[in-house]
Amino acid sequence: QVQLVQSGAEVKKPGASVKVSCKASGYTLTTYDIDWVRQAPGQGLEWMGWMDPNSGDTGYAQKFQGRVTITRNISISTVSMELSSLTSEDTAVYYCARVVLTIRRGVYTYYGMDVWGQGTTVTISS
Amino acid sequence: EIVLTQSPGTLSLSPGERATLSCRATQSVSNTYLAWYQQKAGQAPRLLIYGASNRATGIPDRFSGSGSGTDFTLTISRLEPEDFAVYYCQQYGTSLRTFGQGTKVEIK
């Protein structure tokens, strides 16, 4: 079945970087965008950025510009998100999600983030 | 950047009651690009509604979405015990997406 499987929990020190991976199975990675969303403890969902695995194009929320990098390795059907210069405010669960957007006769249809990874807990602690 | 504001922050209702959740955008959002998600504690979000009013696969018909422009609504016609959760609206943009801050539906 279609699923996204993320890498395991991480504990990092302030100032370090973390890289979280998201492996797709059950479909071809290059067919749909992958978005990254995070959720701090007790808080709501915060969108971080996206990648088109086919083209390698990316886009990032202004809040994370310069600190986040999304990459892909098509050969292993994996998209990764790296966040640098970590502070305690980056302690959160990080999710990847598949974004379904189709184009037919020039008309775009957004079908939502239909498959989510299980989440990766990243803890920043000195 | 389009900001989505959800109201109320918390909705206290009993099973069997009707829930009406609001999502208001700071600028017009195409119906096509508005989605709703449900999140239960300790779980990843689950897609409920896309295109403002289309139920995702496997979503019961007690969930419905409506609205256009800057005002959107998620309605749960009769709350079941498993519906008590947090709900988020989300808009899709070519280069930016945003979520609302969420509405918690709790048991009264």
CA distance B45 to B53: 18
Chain B positions in Cβ-Cβ contact with residue A97 (cut-off 8 Å): 45
Average pLDDT over residues A66-91: 98
Chain A positions in Cβ-Cβ contact with residue B90 (cut-off 8 Å): 45, 47, 112-113
Residue B30 pLDDT > 90: no
The pLDDT > 90 percentage for chain A reads 92
Do the Cβ atoms of A93 and B39 come closer than 8 Å? Answer: no
pLDDT of residue A14: 97
Is residue A109 less than 8 Å (CB to CB) from chain B?
A: yes
Which range is least confidently modeled, A33-42, A102-111, B37-46, B68-77?
A102-111
pLDDT of residue A107: 84
Instruction: Work out the mean pLDDT of chain A and round it to a whole number.
Output: 96
DSSP A57-90: -EEE-GGGTTTEEEEEEGGGTEEEEEE-S--GGG
Average pLDDT over residues A56-63: 95
Which residues, at least 6 apart from A38, have a Cβ–Cβ distance to it below 8 Å?
A: A45, A46, A48, A92, A93, A94, A95
* Tens of pLDDT, residues B40-90: 999 999 999 999 999 999 999 999 999 999 999 999 999 999 999 999 999
Chain B positions in Cβ-Cβ contact with residue A109 (cut-off 8 Å): 32, 51
CA distance B108 to B106: 6
Q: Which of B37, B59, B97, B101 to mutate to test the interface with A (most CBs of A within 10 A)?
A: B97
Residue A106 pLDDT > 80: yes
pLDDT of residue B101: 98
Strands A58-60 and A68-73, how do they pair? unpaired
